Structure formats: C-alpha cells, structure tokens
Amino acid sequence: MIASVSSWGTLIGGILFGMLADRIVRAKVFTWTLFVVAFSTGAIYFAHKI
C-alpha cells in the first residue's frame, strides 16, 4: 500500500510540476519541488505508527 501511494504521488507530482514548469520559470518550479520533497521527508519523522 505504501509503495502504491508513493508511486501515484510521484506520478501526479511529476505531471503537475512538469506542466507548471512549462508555464513558469523552470528553476523556480524546481525549487518548489525540492521544498515539497524536503517538507514531506521531514513530516515522516512526526508520523505515528499504527
């Protein structure tokens, strides 16, 4: 389940940020993408096990 959600998130994020990069400066969108990945990775620390 975790692998499936991760794969779908990567697919959707790639499509959305790719389309955004075509409309806006690519470097700015790349910075936003790095921020989202860093924030998500940091949020994993606070996730509780069930």
Q: Which of 1, 14, 6 is nearest to 41 (CA)?
A: 6
- pTM strictly above 0.75: no
Is 29 within 8 Å of 21 (Cβ atoms)?
yes
Stretches where the chain sits below pLDDT 50 are none
The two three-digit tokens of residue 3, written as one number: 């692998």
